[in-house]
Amino acid sequence: MQAIAQMAKDKIADSAPAEPVIKVPSNFTTTIIAENLGQARHLAVTQRGDVYVRLAKPVNGKGTLFLHDTDGDGKMDEQKGFGDFGGTGVALADGYLYTTSNTEVFRYKLNDQQQVVSPDQPERIVKGLTDKGTHNTKSVALDKNGNIYVGIGAPSNACQVKDRTKGSPGMMPCAMLDSVGGIWQFKTDKPEQILKDGVHYATGIRNMVGMDWNAQTNSLFVMQHGRDQLTTLFPDMYTVQQSAVLPAEAMFELKKGDDAGWPYTYYDQIQKKKIVAPEYGGDGKKAVTDKYIDPAAAYPGHMAPNGLLFYTGGQFPEKYRNGAFIAFHGSWNRAPEPQAGYFVVFQPFKNGKPSGEWEVFADNFAGMETVMSPGKAMHRPCGLAQGPDGSLYVADDVKGTLYKISYAK
């Protein structure tokens, strides 16, 4: 019986797909530092090289993981969990760890080794944020002046009277923008804030998961998930091929009071202009010329930019300094065209602005050259973080794999 059981295990092992080899540029290496964590979303790395990971759903009742390498072999062999809520956002700043659920923002006091002092007693600094099950994750970024920025996605495709319904017009004005579809700024040291206590910092952003504070420009950058279903809702205006790549996934640099234009407009990276949304009288060509800001950079549609990180380390070659890494989670709605994304790209910057073409930096997370169904992708990049040595960390929320990408001449 033992021999039969072993044969069965061997057969299962032989049939299991091989772990994909992540493709990176010359002189870069990728190491898996942790596996099978759960749905690992965003992550933060301490000055000692420990890692905090947020899980979309708690595992064994714990939604935040603390990982430590006890023997220096590069693998996170010590794991502790705390917090009984799932979520996405996590950040380290000024002696605190910040985490988010889909409705709240918490902070934990850290000791001088950047470990949480009282894991069962977080301070809740924001509560009551909208969660309607769609675009409900709450990402965060912090500036140097005691402010935390929270992205609140809109539970809608294009603010139609009947969401995602052919022939339904867009609401004018889009009433939900008073509480979703934008960025709110809160104080980091004020407990129990609600939406009205914060500053409505920017609006017109459908959904933003990737966001980071750019220390060089002293400003907030976010990645917008563009709207869906152009050909489904307006087949007379858009072909299947157009709908697969439009509208752009857009990077915005945001200042207080900015309006990025959702749902009234979208950015067409092929025509290189803002287009009036079809729900609001557009025809796929009519340009917008009014108040809405232009994106800082634009990328093909439906690739789901879930992570954004400005690289400030000294390990990577100089060309990466102050540029942006973007984790594209991968599309679900390009059918019958192949899906796209499932990689980490690098966007060069010069003088605080995107400069030059973006390039794929780390690829093959999906484990296949062509992805027709997102459910078949073995891994999907989500969170990005920079380590104290200048390495780049990537979180995958399919199998909970953490990657460390390093450079050596």
For 151-198, the pLDDT digits (tens) are 999 999 999 999 999 999 999 999 999 999 999 999 999 999 999 999
CA gap 363, 50 in Å, rounded: 25
Beta bridge partners of 81: 65
Q: What is the mean pLDDT of the chain?
A: 95
- Host domain of residue 77: 2-407
- pLDDT > 50? residue 13: no
The answer to whether 49 and 34 have CB atoms below 8 angstroms apart is no
CA gap 324, 350 in Å, rounded: 11
What percent of the chain has a predicted confidence (pLDDT) above 90? 94
- At 12, is the secondary structure helix, strand, or coil? helix
CA gap 196, 338 in Å, rounded: 43
Amino acid letter, residue 32: I
pLDDT tens for each residue of 349-377: 999 999 999 999 999 999 999 999 999 99
| 3-class SS letters over 54-93 | EEEEEECCEEEEEEECCCCCCCCCEEEEECCCCCCCEEEE
The answer to whether 22 and 396 have CB atoms below 8 angstroms apart is no
CA gap 393, 372 in Å, rounded: 27
What percent of the chain has a predicted confidence (pLDDT) above 70? 96
- pLDDT > 60? residue 4: no
Predicted pLDDT of residue 409: 77
CA gap 138, 129 in Å, rounded: 9
pLDDT tens for each residue of 186-208: 999 999 999 999 999 999 999 99
CA gap 347, 353 in Å, rounded: 10
Report the domain count for the chain.
1
Beta bridge partners of 59: 62
pLDDT tens for each residue of 377-398: 999 999 999 999 999 999 999 9
Predicted pLDDT of residue 18: 87
Amino acid letter, residue 325: F
Residues sharing a CB contact under 8 Å with residue 312, sequence separation 6 or more, in sequence order? 215, 321, 322, 386
- pLDDT > 70? residue 80: yes
Amino acid letter, residue 134: T
With cut-offs at 50, 70 and 90, classify the pLDDT of residue 1.
Answer: very low
Q: How far apart are the first and last CA of the chain?
A: 53
CATH number at residue 377: 2.120.10.30
With cut-offs at 50, 70 and 90, classify the pLDDT of residue 15.
Answer: low
